[in-house]
Chains A and B, each alone.
Chain A
Amino acid sequence: MAWTRFGKKKDMPGGLWIKCESCGAMLFRKEFEQRHRVCATCGYHFTLPARDRIALTADEGTFAEMWPELCAYDVLEFNDRVPYGEKLVATRKKTGENDAMVTGTCTIKGIPCALGVMNFTFLGGSMGMVVGEKIALLCEHAAEKGLPVVLFACSGGARMHEGAVSLMQMAKTCGALTRLHRAGVVSISVMTHPTTGGVTASFASVCDLLLAEPGALIGFAGPRVIATTIKKELPKGFQRSEFLLEKGQIDRIVARAQMRDELARLLAYATGRDPVAAFKPAPVPADAAEPVAVAAEAAGKKPKKKAKKDG
């Protein structure tokens, strides 16, 4: 539930070079941004700010933001070292966003959908009343209009400063998704690094399709909490996307460079369109370090298998 675990990481230095959090390689900032914050050496997917994510996902100029005016308030008069109200004001100023969720409608490769993207830079993407409310409003709007929903999760969990109010956003968002489901509308959750706590334990896990970016930390309890509880070292790759795929918890791992195409392809199936027309793959960079299976599938190749006859 603790967003500060991740939020404490140093902001990226403003210099020309940037060090990969995963492999330590020095990356040329301009190229790094061009690659949408994916390490050229090891393929590590850095956390992507919400606006960049929208730019990368939605067709240019189609994103129409909804409910940007919604703001949280200090419902508990929560005061740790800085009063929550002051923290909100300062974070809004620093990030230029009102809270940790951006919602609206757009088209992805021409397919209309409702899009919700979490913003990790806003208090670790923590889910409070605004995140919960925006997801609920988005689902209700989508149910009414028959628009499929795509939600990008990126969060340390519930926002402690809103106490049990934030906890109940788990119920609010799940409830809204049941309404969407009843309307026969498809939902897609994309879990990105990191997706933990109350976000994983609510809307991010109950969408119809569950995707994840490579190497994303996805789980209920944070790895440190688990290690302290069981007093053992955690296995390598524990709680990473690949681990979740192996354990049968998610449908697909999709690299950032292919995400838009993959979403369009799935949305096409979900809305009665031709997936072949929707899915024109983006060129895969030759040096991309993605899992082979993912890259092969993304290029439209399917492993050849001889059809066996039953009995």
Chain B
Amino acid sequence: MSESPAKSVMQDGLAFERPLNELQQKIDELRKLKQDTHLDLDGEIELLEDRKRRETADVYSKLSPWERVNVARHADRPLTSDYMQLMLDDFVELHGDRVFGEDRAIVTGLASMDGVRFLLVGHRKGKTVKDRLACNFGCAHPEGYRKAMQKMRLAEKMKLPIVTFINTPGAYPGIGAEERGQAAAIAQNIYDMFELRVPIVCLVIGEGGSGGALGIGVGDRVGMLENSYYSVISPEGCAAILWKAGDKAPEAAEALKLTSKDLRRLGLVDEVIEEPLGGAHRDPKGAIERVKAQILTWLRELQATPIEELLAQRYRKFRSMGQPTSG
């Protein structure tokens, strides 16, 4: 994606992918050559594959926070729609907030997976240009958050657990969004999610952009994919404000401690779900399998817990985040 020469080296947060992609290209070329010429190239291919594995592991173990942000935004990274397609046996989409409109930036519907039924709520970014525009690149309006809550209330009535997929740069900043109470819609969701009498599982699968993420992010279990990020503000926004320079985003990403490892260390998420070698975009199927397994495990655990206890635990969990000192 970011191969455009106009972009500076700093801005190209995916520069580290280039040598890996070049290795892959070589492997592909050798494979093609082998097919065309029937030469015995297995040894060379195996050697290159091995080298690629080692280098990928090496590169990905050393990614800077800014590089991880760029992996989280990678064009090939699986989106909510990919998870739905590969994970679910059935899905009934339910539209609209019953008040103002239908926001395509958040998808909601009844889902079935390996015999387990739940309500799925997820940010939707879109695959094609047209889709992306329709979804506002995953930036939801108030009606999106209100739709989510309206369907979550339905799940509560149907006694279905809720699974949310978080992947947004942030809630949409616009005139209409403000007119219709963007802040209030997010606040109300956060508030109501503490009261919903069904288990809630939240997964940050890419970008966990601030209040826009938290608006569907209060759950009994909160997980993050290894290369996703969760932050109070985008690195670019933070850099513009504190460094007075948008190009200091890498420094801001570092300072914000927004990687999955950081969030886990700070006790803000329950689990980091490891991605396949070289990120979820290299092996979407593998990544989705892991997420699916985690959801099933959690739902089993949570459904065995009495609801009053679950609600108390849900509150205690968020209540304990960020404990000040006494002088």
Residues of chain A at the chain B interface (Cβ within 8 Å): 1-2, 4-5, 69-73, 75-76, 78-81, 98-99, 128-130, 132-133, 136, 158-160, 162-172, 174-179, 197-198, 200-206, 218-221, 225-226, 229-230, 232, 234-235, 238-239, 243, 247, 249
For the complex, count residues of B whose C-beta is within 8 A of A: 55
- B211 lies within 8 A of chain A by Cβ: yes
Q: Which residues of A contact B179 (CB under 8 A)?
A: 243, 247
- Using known A-B contacts A165-B268, A170-B211, A171-B214, determine if residue A226 contacts B174 with beta carbons closer than 8 Å: yes
- B191 lies within 8 A of chain A by Cβ: yes
A164 touches B211 (CB 8 A): no
A175 touches B315 (CB 8 A): yes
B326 touches A69 (CB 8 A): yes
Q: Which of B187, B214, B325 has the most CB of A within 10 A?
A: B187
- B10 lies within 8 A of chain A by Cβ: no
A201 touches B186 (CB 8 A): yes
A163 touches B257 (CB 8 A): yes
A164 touches B187 (CB 8 A): no
Q: Which residues of A contact B175 (CB under 8 A)?
A: 226, 230, 232, 234-235, 238
Residues of chain B at the chain A interface (Cβ within 8 Å): 171, 173-175, 177-184, 186-188, 190-191, 194-195, 210-211, 214-215, 217-218, 230-233, 237-238, 241-243, 251-252, 255-258, 262-263, 266, 268, 314-315, 318-319, 321-327
B231 touches A170 (CB 8 A): no
Q: Shortest distance in angstroms between A16's beta carbon and chain B's nearest beta carbon?
A: 34
Closest to B263 in A: A164
Q: Which residues of A contact B187 (CB under 8 A)?
A: 170, 174, 200-206
A2 touches B241 (CB 8 A): yes
Q: Which residues of B contact A167 (CB under 8 A)?
A: 210-211, 214, 230-232
* CB contact between B319 and one of A2, A166, A176, A238 (< 8 Å): that residue: A176
B173 touches A168 (CB 8 A): no
* CB contact between B324 and one of A80, A130, A230 (< 8 Å): that residue: A130
A247 touches B181 (CB 8 A): yes
Given contacts A133-B322, A171-B318, 7 further A-B contacts (CB under 8 A): A163-B256, A164-B262, A164-B263, A172-B321, A178-B315, A238-B175, A247-B180
Q: Which residues of A contact B232 (CB under 8 A)?
A: 1, 158-160, 162-164, 166-167, 198
What is the number of contacts between chain A and chain B, taking CB atoms within 8 Å? 212
A160 touches B324 (CB 8 A): no
- Using known A-B contacts A71-B326, A160-B233, A200-B183, determine if residue A1 contacts B194 with beta carbons closer than 8 Å: no
**Docked pose: A118 CA to B325 CA in angstroms:** 19
B241 touches A164 (CB 8 A): no
Q: Which of A70, A129, A201 has the most CB of B within 10 A?
A: A201
Q: Shortest distance in angstroms between B299's beta carbon and chain A's nearest beta carbon?
A: 21
* CB contact between A76 and one of B182, B256, B327 (< 8 Å): that residue: B256
B194 touches A178 (CB 8 A): yes
B194 touches A174 (CB 8 A): yes
Q: Shortest distance in angstroms between B242's beta carbon and chain A's nearest beta carbon?
A: 4
